[in-house]
Amino acid sequence: MPQFWLMKSEPNCFSFDDLLRSPERTSPWDGVRNYQARNFLRDEIHVGDGVLFYHSNVPAPAIVGVAKVVRAGYPDHTARDPDSDHFDPRATVDNPIWYMVDVQALMAFPQPVSRETMKAHPLLSDMAVLKRGNRLSVLPVDPRHWPVLFELGGISPARINELLISTGGEDDSSR
DNA sequence: GCCAACGTTGGC
DNA sequence: GCCAACGTTGGC
């Protein structure tokens, strides 16, 4: 059973549009430097899982699109790059410490689901991402929240399913 | 820009 | 192992 994960990104740094414009609409989700999130990336996130792309640290934080995991956890090589902002001198080939997955954009939500909307919605107000002080950049999303988020975002759950199942090459899955 | 909440570091 | 200090996140 595929799971859905919420992944946060500051759009000034890497936006959903940036992912859509990436080669094959795919990019590594690198730079995560938190052990709990690392454990998700390394151990629990699987190919075929869904990703809800959340824009954080902006005037109106929101889930703006859907992506899927196309490569499971592997060492985040930026940890070994002294020129990277996410360099960690402790990381080695044998002990990479930090991991990443590859994600592929499926489509933008026709109607982004704002943090404000989620907070006000009776079925969504207990989402982990809304909890005060929450700083995890990779979070599992409760299955009972999925269809609500999809409908609010303007994509039917059935369509999401199609997008997740499709091979995701140069086909029409983003149109 | 402010600041609360959190994770990490390091002295002891 | 405790815990104060610090740096970062991220909503507002």
Chain B bases near protein Cβ (<7 Å): 4-8
Straight-line distance from CA A99 to C1' C1, in Å?
29
* CA of A135: nucleotide with nearest C1': C9
Which CATH class name applies to A4-165?
alpha beta
Contact A160, A50 (CB under 8 A): yes
Please give the angle made by the CA atoms of A151, A155 and A161, to the nearest 5 degrees.
Answer: 105
Alpha-carbon gap, residue A71 to A79, rounded angstroms: 18
In eight-state DSSP terms, residue A107 is E
pTM: 0.93
A55 phi and psi angles, rounded to 5 deg: -90, 115
The per-residue pLDDT string of chain A (175 residues; one tens digit each, 9 = 90 and over) reads 899 999 999 999 999 999 999 999 999 999 999 999 999 999 999 999 999 999 999 999 999 999 999 999 999 999 999 989 999 999 999 999 999 999 999 999 999 999 999 999 999 999 999 999 999 999 999 999 999 999 999 999 999 999 999 875 444 444 4
Nearest to A145 by CA among A159, A157, A163, A136: A157
Tokens of A14: 């890497």
Nearest to A160 by CA among A66, A72, A47, A49: A66
Question: Strand B-proximal residues, CB under 7 Å?
Answer: A 34-36, 131-135
Q: Where do the domains of chain A lie?
A: 4-165
Left if phi > 0, otherwise alpha if psi is -120 to 50, otherwise beta: which for A81? beta
